[in-house]
Amino acid sequence: MSFCKKMRLKIKWALQQFDEHIDEYATEALRITKAVKRALESPLADVLETIIPGDTDTLLKNKILQALETGIHTLSIVQTCQQQPTVEEKLICFVTELRKTSPALQEAILQKLQSIVLRELDGNTKKQHLYDLFSQAKYSSVK
């Protein structure tokens, strides 16, 4: 069996591990990550409102806040961001520090943030590499 055929079967199997809600979560994780990326290019005044609009469902908003906190903690590029008292202050710190990195590193960190947010929104029921695969597939499908 050729390498490509084996790989295609493995990817197909991996994607079948998710339920019908994963695409909804992946879309939301991608939207959040794109909002963080936009925050890199604009003033940080209302960064949390940009990422989570005021009309967002309360349950989803709470899941997003928890996912962002987990992602920022996991990807913390400086310890000071972890010490901030609120998610919004952690997010502002994270974006501020992310601005100091190269565009290539920003992309890598944002891609991993998308995957972590997806994992948290889905309830962390799968291995991280499956979330990485699905979030990359989602990103590639809308790019």
pLDDT digits (tens, 9 = 90+) for 96-137: 899 899 999 999 999 999 999 999 999 998 889 889 988 888
Residue 1: inside a domain? no
Residue type at 31 in one-letter notation: R
Residue 112: inside a domain? yes
Structurally, the chain folds into a number of domains equal to: 1
Residue 78: inside a domain? yes
Residue 50: inside a domain? yes
Token pair of 3 as six digits: 């390498």
Cβ contact 95:47 at 8 Å: yes
Q: List the domain range (segments joined by +) for residue 123.
A: 19-142
pLDDT digits (tens, 9 = 90+) for 14-66: 666 666 788 888 899 999 899 888 888 877 656 777 777 777 778 888 888 89
Residue 10: inside a domain? no
